[in-house]
Structure 1
Amino acid sequence: MSDQTKMIRGQEWLEKLLKLAAIPSTVTAEPSPEGLAEPGSYWLTVEEKHLTPQQIELLIGPDGAVIDAIQYLANSILNIGQEEDQQASYTIELQGYRVRRQAELREMADRAAEQVRQTGQEFEMSALSAAERRQVHTFLKECEDLETYSRGQEPDRRLVVRLR
C-alpha cells in the first residue's frame, strides 16, 4: 500500500466518522510535519470553516479527550489486520490543537530534562495520554544523558525521566 493510499484511507475514514456523527466536514490529509512525528505518519486535519464553536469544542473535548479518542480509534481501526510494513500512524488535528499541545509537551519535556540534570533525581510526568507519553519519549530520545520509561497502570500511568 502506497503512502498516498494510506493517507487517503485515513482521510476517508475520518470524513465518514464525522458524517455519522452529524458533523459533516472535509478532512485534509498530508504527511506529518517535519520534527512533529516519525516518518510514515500522517496528519488528518478536520476543516473547521463550516463547524460551529460548539462542534469544535465537542470534537476536541475536555483536555483533548475526544480528539485523543478519535485518534486512538483511527490508529486502531485503520491498522487492524494490516502487516506491520503496511501500518500507518495518524494524528487528528483540529483548530491547531495538536500543534499547541505538542509545543506544551516539548516545553514540559525540556523542563523535566533540566530538572533531572540539575538534581540527579528522576522526574515523573503524570496526566499524559499514551500518545502524549510516546511523544515525550520521542522528544527526549535525542538526549544521550537521559532515559525515559513508563511506570504504573492506566489510568495512572506516568512517564519517568532519569539520568542514564
Structure 2
Amino acid sequence: MESREQRGQQWLEKLLQYAAIPTSVRSEKSPEFWEDSCWLVIDEAPLVPEQIQALMGAKGEVLDSLQYLANTILNLNRESEQQGAFTVDLAGYRLRRYAELQAISDQAASEAHETGTEVELKGLSAAERRQVHTILKEHTDLETQSRGQEPDRRLVVSLVKAH
C-alpha cells in the first residue's frame, strides 16, 4: 500500500503534468512548529519565473488553491486513519509567510495588551486565520475568534474577559 506522502507526491506531479508545468514534487516532514502535515514541495529549479508566479498567484492564492484541492481530493473516501493534512509549498513561500503571520500575531497581541480593545486582522485566508489562532494560543490572556462572512471574514484578537 502506498504511503500518504507517495499519494500526495504522485497526485501533485500528475496535476502539474496536466498543466504543462515540467517539474517534480518531493515530500518532506513538516517543520516542528507546524501542524503534523505532509509537505509537498514543488521543485522550482526547472521553472521559469513566470511559471513560479503562475503557481504562486497573488498573495499565494494559487498555492492555497492547490493545497485545498490536495487536502480535499487526497482525503476523499479514505478511512479516518488514512487521512491527513497536506501542505503545498514552492520556493519557501510557506515558511516566509509563516514568519509574516508570526509578526502580525505579535503586533496584534501587543496592541490588544496596550489598548485593551479588540484588534481586527483582515485579509487573511482561512488557513492563515487558523495559523494565527494557533500562534496566539500561547497567550492565555488573549482570545481569538473569526467574525463576518467570506470574503470579508476577519480574525479578532482581544483580552480574555474576566467572568
TM-score band, normalised by shorter chain: over 0.9
Q: Confirm or deny that 1:57 pairs with 2:57.
A: no
Which residue in the other structure is 1:26 paired with? 24
TM-score normalised according to structure 1 size: 0.93
Q: Distance in 2 between matches of 1:139 and 1:46?
A: 26
Identity of aligned residues (%): 57
Which letter does structure 1 place at the counterpart of 2:3?
Answer: T
Count of residues in correspondence between the two structures = 160
CA offset at residue 33 of structure 1?
Answer: 0.8
Pick aligned residue for 2:129 from 108, 129, 133:
133
For residue 98 of structure 2, what is the amino acid of its counterpart? Answer: Q
Q: In the alignment, which residue of structure 2 is the partner of 1:14?
A: 12
- Runs of 4+ aligned residues of structure 1 deviating over 6 Å after TM superposition are none
Q: For residues 107 and 83 of structure 1, what CA distance do their matches in structure 2 show?
A: 37
Tell me the C-alpha RMSD between the 2 structures.
1.3
Q: Larger radius of gyration, structure 1 or 2?
A: 2
Question: Residue in 2 aligned with 1:75?
Answer: 71
1:38 paired with 2:25, answer no
Q: Which residue of 2 aligns with 1:118?
A: 114
Q: Deviations over 1:78-124 (max 9, x none)?
A: 11222333221111111111111110001000100110011110111
**TM-score with structure 2 setting the length:** 0.94
